[in-house]
Amino acid sequence: MTAMRIVVKLGTSVLTMGTPSLNRQRMLEIVQQIARAHQEGHEVILVTSGAVAAGRERLGFPELGRSLPHKQMFSAVGQSRLMQLYNELFDIFQIVVAQVLLTRDDLSDRRRHLNARDTIATLLEHRIIPIINENDTTATHEIRVGDNDNLSALVAALVEADLLIMLTDQPGLFTADPRTHADAQLIGEVAKIDDSTWAVASGTNSDLGTGGMTTKLQAAQLAGRSGVMTVISGGSLPDVITRLLTGEQLGTRFPASTTHLESRKRWLMMEKPRGTVYVDDGAAKKLLTGGASLLPVGIVRIAREFERGAVVSVIAPSGRSIAHGLTNYDSSDLRKICGVKSPQIVDILGYSYGDAVIHRNNMVVLT
């Protein structure tokens, strides 16, 4: 079995089984499946709801309003409780987990986007399972993603996952709401999300969570456009994660509409460069003919100010723009390391974001 990078999203309804409280047995069953995938070599990222439900439970289910401050209070109380439960459950399998709380700004601001990506990548590199939730405690309306369905898709795109598994209280997407239509049929695969798909997804909201089937379709569409396949399936199905990873057809599949590389390079072509990097003839030839990364030794000078993670234009000695790429260093750092060999970066800056100024996977060559 080929090792994959997988994002698993758990909705509140899965964790509570439709009750007001978190169901410990259900959580253990899911953790056991994630642990098995982890032990088989897969990289697993868990995006979990349940903090608000855990907070309500911890406070004795008080009858309070549904305002954002009340929700944030429940989340503040419940987030630590939720992580305590996950820590205890993953400890059974000797797996270390890490809490990562995100807001929309963490994923849309380029510098914070890179920091979030690098943090998650480092956790995975050290075989630590990131457990991600939205930072509901302090996030305002403007910086909230709003639901963990779309958050899971944004995370899947961020880490270039191979698969997004969204577990819910329904076995998948049906031709009608199965709770009110006895003749509703499960849809095995949706090749393209169109108006008819949106129509069948409407009106299937969960009682406890913020996301219904419509937000799951939004997430599947976002993930697909980023090169990630999505499966929506039932969290109560026995060994659902294990069975999906062995190729069993469960729930509703949404194939990716592009590849990670095509998605990234299309974005690089469309994004307006924030700065300019001038390179020598040797570097230009390597970029144009060898598919190489751009190293600092081949850089002659920098124009304009830009931050780490910005799209920059690479200019050959002829004056022609030969590539667009994401820079690992800001303009201030680049001016200090122009023309030096990569091993010298850490000596000059005191830190390093890697040997390449622009990695070949984050570059599109203009021909």
Q: What is the DSSP string of 203-248?
A: T---SSSS--HHHHHHHHHHHHHTT-EEEEEETTSTTHHHHHHTT-
Stated as kind and residue range, the H or E segment containing 25 is helix 24-39
E-assigned strand segments in the chain:
5-10, 43-48, 97-102, 129-134, 163-168, 229-234, 252-254, 275-279, 299-303, 311-315, 321-326, 363-365
What are the pLDDT tens digits along the chain (367 aa)?
688 999 999 999 999 988 889 999 999 999 999 999 999 999 999 999 999 899 999 999 888 777 778 888 888 999 999 999 999 999 999 999 999 999 877 777 767 788 888 899 999 999 999 999 988 666 555 445 568 898 999 999 989 999 999 999 889 998 887 778 888 889 999 998 888 888 887 755 544 444 478 889 989 998 998 889 999 999 999 999 999 999 999 999 999 988 877 777 777 877 789 999 999 999 999 999 878 999 999 999 999 999 998 999 999 999 999 999 999 999 999 999 999 999 999 999 999 999 999 999 889 998 7
* Helix spans in 40-101 (H): 51-58, 68-91
Per-residue pLDDT at 1: 62
In the chain, where are the structural domains located?
Answer: 5-258, 264-365
- Single-letter code of the amino acid located at 69: P
Reference 236, options 6, 10, 4; nearest CA is 10
DSSP class of 296 = G
The CATH architecture to which 264-365 belongs is: Roll (2.30)
Is residue 319 within 8 A of residue 340, CB to CB? The reply is no
Q: Do domains 5-258 and 264-365 have the same CATH topology?
A: no
Q: How many CB atoms lie within 10 A of CB 45?
A: 25
Alpha carbon 100 to its chain centroid, in Å, reads 12
Per-residue pLDDT at 210: 45
Question: Rounded to an integer, what distance in angstroms lies between the CA atom of residue 125 and that of residue 148?
Answer: 24
Reference 252, options 212, 228, 217, 276; nearest CA is 217
Positive or negative: CA dihedral 144, 148, 221, 256: positive
Reference 91, options 35, 45, 133, 11; nearest CA is 35
- Per-residue b or e along 245-271, where b marks 16 or more CB atoms closer than 10 Å to that residue's CB: beeeebbbbbebbeebeebbbeebeee
**Domain spanning 5-258: CATH superfamily:** Acetylglutamate kinase-like (3.40.1160.10)
Per-residue pLDDT at 263: 75
Q: What is the dihedral of CA 294, 298, 300, 304, to 10 degrees?
A: 10
176 bridge partner residues: none
